[in-house]
Each structure stands twice: as C-alpha cells, then as structure tokens.
Structure 1
Amino acid sequence: MAEAPAVEVQCPVGTLPQLLAALHDPIRLEMVRRLHEVGEPVKCAALYDGINKSTASHHFNILRDAGLIERVVSEGHIYQRLRARDVDAAMPGLLDAIVEQANRESGR
C-alpha cells in the first residue's frame, strides 16, 4: 500500500517584497518556472542544472521561507510543490505574470 505523502509545516505566503526577493535570483526563478509548468510535485533534481545539491537546498529553503513552495515526502522521495493557489489567493495574478515574463525572456 502506498504511503500518503507527508507535507512539511508551511510558512505563510510572504509579503510582496519577500516574494520578489526570493524570485530575484535566476536559479530560483527557473525552479519556480519549472514547477509552474508541470503543475504537480517534482523531484528536486529535476528543478536545477549546473549547481550542487547543497546550493539547490539553499535555494529551496529561500523559496519555502517565502511561502512559494512546499516540500513533500512520498515513498522515501523528496519533491517540491509550488504553492500556486496559496500565492494567488494572497496576491492574485502575481505568480502567473512573473512566470509568463520569465517564459518570454527565456524564449519559451
């Protein structure tokens, strides 16, 4: 029988300056863009290229502290999930606008 996913205690969605500061870094913005594109929890390693695990962990912590993502553990694997609904409830349209612009700038 599959184990139910465990979600860590969530930080509240941050203030506008906190969200913008978290998304200011290109690596974190790309992590959020990838999570937004998929729309479901993603294994950590699929969210970054060219950085080591400890650096990725640092970026995940900043995104979690801002309330943008949550960590999900399921069947021994760690995933990250974008808290799009929570962010949209706090700041309607902000996340979609940021991701759309990131997609335009990256040619996607």
Structure 2
Amino acid sequence: MRVLEHPDVEEIRLEAVLHALSDPMRLEVVRFLATTENGAACSEIDLAVSKSTGTHHYRVLREAGVINQVYQGTSKINSLRRADLDELFPGLLDSVVSAATRRPRR
C-alpha cells in the first residue's frame, strides 16, 4: 500500500497553512471537505483546473497539514485535519470555511 507523507502536528506551521489557504482552488477543496464526514475522493471535488494542477493543489494542502490523504484502491481520499488545526489554531478553519462559503464561486 502506498503511503503519502504528512507533517506531524508539531510540524504544522501557521504560515504554511495560510499559504495553502490563499488560493481559490484550494479554498474550494477545503470548503467542500468541510461538508463531508468521511472525506472525498479527488474526483468528487469539481475543480476548474487540469488534473495535474489539481494534484498540485492537493499536495500543497497535504504538505501544509490542512488535509489528510490516504489511498483507497486507486483513489486518494481527502479529509480535513480539523482536530489538528483546531488544536493549533482555534477558530481558523471555521472562519476560513465560513468566508469561503459566503463568497461567490468561480
């Protein structure tokens, strides 16, 4: 089974999280994942970018510690690292999701 690298909780840095959240496509991923309980495959999240660009966005989110990705067959299942982010930066994720939900989608 292939395993993807994720930062440990103590390695998650605010500046990396804020950078990851600064892109509209990555915000769309976070907004979508905030509405799911069991995560979602990349193909379930409709991004208006090429597959390779989408892969880049998911990698930035994962390496910043915003999402968790695990292989399930040939799909990557994505979920928010809500507990970790809420512990490190209380209220940040809720504020970001709320703001992203209020803004018009592209």
Give the structure-1-normalised TM-score.
0.83
78, 81, 84: which one aligns with 1:80: 78
Task: Check conservation: 1:6, 1:74, Cα contact below 8 A.
Answer: no
Supply the distance in 1 between the matched residues of 2:59 and 2:19 (Cα, whole angstroms). Answer: 13
The match for 1:17 is 15
The match for 1:37 is 35
The match for 1:55 is 53
How many percent of aligned residue pairs carry the same amino acid? 37
Runs of 4+, deviation exceeding 4 Å: none
The match for 2:4 is 8
Task: Check conservation: 1:22, 1:62, Cα contact below 8 A.
Answer: yes
Task: Check conservation: 2:47, 2:54, Cα contact below 8 A.
Answer: no
In the TM superposition, what are the counterparts of 1:67-106 in structure 2 within 5 Å? Answer: 67-106=65-104
Task: Check conservation: 1:41, 1:72, Cα contact below 8 A.
Answer: no
Supply the distance in 2 between the matched residues of 1:98 and 1:82 (Cα, whole angstroms). Answer: 13
Give the structure-2-normalised TM-score.
0.84
Task: Check conservation: 2:61, 2:67, Cα contact below 8 A.
Answer: yes
Gaps of 5+ in 2: none
Q: How many residues align?
A: 103
Supply the distance in 2 between the matched residues of 1:49 and 1:10 (Cα, whole angstroms). Answer: 23
